[in-house]
Structure 1
Amino acid sequence: MTTVSLLAAATAAAPTRLDPLQLFRDADIVVQIVIVGLVLASIWVWAIIVSFSLRMGKVSRRSAAFEREFLLAKEPETLLEGRRRQDVPSARVAAAGLSELQHSTGAGGRVADREGTRSRVALAMEGQVATEADSLAERLNFLATTGSVAPFVGLFGTVWGIMNSFFQIGEQQNSSLAVVAPGISEALFATAIGLFAAIPAVIAYNRFSHRVNAFEARMQRFADRVHAQISRELEGQ
């Protein structure tokens, strides 16, 4: 067989594009473990992104509807009873304020210390606002952790793969690109998977954190309106 024929056969046998599955199968066991871990983290990141988006949209719509009804309701307690079993953060904020008002009201419905009652009602609603915001942001910690850690985990897999490539050079006494390139490709694949997991996590964390902060500010404004309404009722007593 001539040299031209050998080159033609080698060219025909060479892959024309990267095959992620083949890179994974050919990788070292340590690199494979790193890749599997990063893929699972990426799947969980996207699950959080989808579930949080759906929940945030539902919570925002329910809270907006409740706030409009509550501020116009003649009997807020009756409206709250219908919202207790639903996921409505604004309803829980208002319930915290009204509950504190009931505890501060004597048996005759009179309030002995109006200023103290106002302060306690405000503190109760502020605490509930913080609790609701913390509950919404609870799962975002995984996005922050993945966004900061995943690139380094992928880099660990890359370093390990490159070390293995240099070991193969020593074993085969051959430093040609044909010996080094496959191991380096498999190693760099781990870094690519790390970035694939980290980039959506960072973007989603920043976006969702902004939405949680905006929703917390909105709940605080609603709490202020409820507090003002309660203060007017106390002044009328």
Structure 2
Amino acid sequence: MEAEAIGLASEVDFSVTALFWRATIVVKLVMLMLIAASFWGWAIIIQKFVNYRVARRQAEAFDRAFWSGEPLDEVFDRIGGNPSGASERIFSAGMTEWRRSHREDGQLIAGATARIERSMDVAIAKEDEKLNYGLGFLATVGATAPFIGLFGTVWGIKNAFEEIAIAQNTNLAVVAPGIAEALVATALGLLAAIPAVIFYNKLSADADRIASGHEAFADEFSTILSRQLDA
């Protein structure tokens, strides 16, 4: 009897594809959801790595231009109305408000420093929103994917036990396929969650460092403008 059961079990296809097609509609939907979440998560991860690398390069290039000794008005005129990076957009926001704060006679309107700082704060907030866009999805996948996979596993095991009860047979050939189908859902949940958690932490730290650079630049720029105002 044992040899017969092992022989029957060996004839069952336990490949992931075969297990997917034998699963119930609920387990299939869970698997498809987790696969889609995994692919979308990897797309966000790759996009963020590229975007952050470009952001760092643009910030370094602007820092060299900003601290080159060239007059700020000339730097602003060269950038024009189409800044290419976050630092340039923050700088443009501050310089635009700086120029708007001058009267026709060249005198500054009262409260110019506060308005310039608020303009740059708004620009920084917009850049931070771009940096963090998509990270919430990674956090959601990392937190929920294991539980979604567990739900698929529980549902699959329930159906496996129902099939055992209907067949009134506990042979390995009857039990193993249903259990294997159910466990695939848990595996897919972990496959989606683990990279999402790891890269969420990594990308969040990178975003915080870039955002800190933006705030540091805004503080330095405000200090330069305040010095000119005091002069």
TM-score by length of 1: 0.88
- Larger deviation: 220-229 or 171-180? 171-180
* C-alpha contact (below 8 Å) 1:59/1:87 kept by paired residues: no
Where in structure 2 are the equivalents of 1:1-237 lying within 5 Å? 10=7, 13-14=10-11, 19-83=15-79, 84-85=81-82, 87-113=84-110, 116-236=111-231
Question: How many angstroms apart in 1 are the aligned matches of 2:14 and 2:105?
Answer: 79
TM normalised by structure 2 equals: 0.90
Q: Residues 9 and 172 of structure 2 are in contact (CA less than 8 Å); yes or no, is this contact kept in structure 1?
A: no
Q: Runs of 5+ in structure 1 lacking a partner? A: none
Q: Relative to 1, partners in 2 of residues 1:24 and 1:12: Cα closer, same or farther, differing over 3 Å? A: closer
Deviation at 1:77, TM superposition (A): 3.9
Residue identity over aligned pairs, in percent, reads: 39
Q: Is the 8 A contact 1:73 1:79 kept in 2?
A: no
**Contact kept in structure 1, 2:152 and 2:185, CA below 8 Å:** yes
Q: How many residues align?
A: 230
In structure 2, the CA distance between the partners of 1:49 and 1:172, relative to structure 1 (3 Å rule), is same
CA deviation map 1:155-213 (0-9, x unaligned): 11111101101110121112333322211111010010011011101111111111111
Q: How far apart in 2 are the matches of 1:205 and 1:31?
A: 27
Contact kept in structure 1, 2:94 and 2:117, CA below 8 Å: yes
Is the 8 Å Cα contact of residues 124 and 215 (structure 2) preserved in structure 1? Answer: yes
8 Å CA contact 1:130, 1:216 repeated in 2: no
SS at 1:72 equivalent: coil
| Structure 1 residues 87 and 183: CA distance shift in structure 2, 3 A | farther
Q: What RMSD over aligned residues (CA atoms) do the two structures have, in Å? A: 2.4
